[in-house]
């Protein structure tokens, strides 16, 4: 069964709208969640690491004020794309994985959210 | 930072064997993962190698050589449903614990 639930799966909205994407861990308590972005025919690019109860760690080049991450509980992380513009249109995917060193546990991915900004 | 290189596209016929190579440069290396992604879908985990050698899981096998910073995914007895993109990903130490960095992906097209 699914380990990660991501919602919504598809969003179409006008430029300037803020969009919230939810990522839920279904089977275990996730202290760490990851947010990726994938443009068509490209690879997954890590945007940020979401840590329960503390601030997210953003990758270089990702605007933290543009992509707000909240990880208030061990089962839920949210990504809010603020004032979205057409260039933010992409496939956003969350994943859950352990942050433990040398862990061989795979990351489990949500089904992704396809965001289209008009 | 991390960088990974893999071929962009491979075409093969049903029943054939395909090997997708992946070379990487990274610090704080823990292991190499492989993921499959069908068009419009999310990545699904295939394998993980932390130690040198071959890991076999059904028709798919993965190999790692840490000294060569090299790994490969072997797809055997190809089926039409194997048409997808395959990503190698390095698990390495990040600022907030370990994280995955993905290669550019290899698009595998299986023909009848």
In chain A, what residues touch B100 (CB-CB under 8 Å)? 34, 46, 95, 97, 107
Q: What is the DSSP letter of A74?
A: T
How many angstroms separate the CA atoms of B63 and B54, rounded?
A: 4
B21: burial class by Cβ within 10 Å (0-12, 13-18, 19+)?
middle
The predicted model gives B23-35 an average pLDDT of 90
**pLDDT tens sequence across A30-79:** 888 899 999 998 999 999 988 888 889 999 899 999 999 998 888 899 99
A13-17, A94-98, B11-15, B99-103, range with the lowest pLDDT: A94-98
Q: Given CB atoms, is A107 within the 8 Å cutoff of chain B?
A: yes
**Residue A98: what pLDDT?**
58
**pLDDT tens sequence across B39-86:** 989 999 899 999 999 999 899 999 999 999 999 999 999 999 999 999
**Residue A101: what pLDDT?**
47
Q: Given CB atoms, is B29 within the 8 Å cutoff of chain A?
A: no
For residues B106 and B11, is the Cβ–Cβ distance under 8 A? Answer: no
Number of helices (H), then strands (E), belonging to chain B: the values are: 0, 11
Per-residue confidence at A80, pLDDT binned at 50, 70, 90?
very high
**Residue A100: what pLDDT?**
53
């Amino acid at each position: 069964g699914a380990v990660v639930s991501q919602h919504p799966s598809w969003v179409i909205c006008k430029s300037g709208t803020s969009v919230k994407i939810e990522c839920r861990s279904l089977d275990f308590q996730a202290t760490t969640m990851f947010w990726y972005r994938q443009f068509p025919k490209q690879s997954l690019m890590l945007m940020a690491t979401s840590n329960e109860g503390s601030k997210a760690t953003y990758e270089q080049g990702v605007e933290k004020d543009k992509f707000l991450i909240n990880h208030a509980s061990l089962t839920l992380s949210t990504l809010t794309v603020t004032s979205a513009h057409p260039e933010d249109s992409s496939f956003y995917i969350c994943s859950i994985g352990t942050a433990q060193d040398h862990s061989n546990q795979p990351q489990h991915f949500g089904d992704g959210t396809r965001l289209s900004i008009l | 930072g991390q960088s990974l290189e893999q071929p962009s596209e491979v075409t093969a016929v049903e029943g054939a064997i395909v090997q997708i190579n992946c070379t990487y440069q990274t610090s704080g290396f823990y292991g190499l993962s492989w993921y499959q992604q069908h068009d419009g879908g999310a990545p699904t985990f295939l394998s993980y190698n932390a130690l040198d050698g071959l890991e076999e899981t059904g028709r798919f096998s993965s190999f790692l050589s840490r000294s060569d910073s090299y790994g490969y995914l072997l797809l055997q007895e190809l089926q039409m449903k194997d048409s997808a993109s395959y990503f190698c990903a390095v698990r390495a130490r990040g600022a907030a614990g370990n994280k995955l960095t993905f290669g550019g992906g290899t698009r595998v097209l299986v023909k009848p």
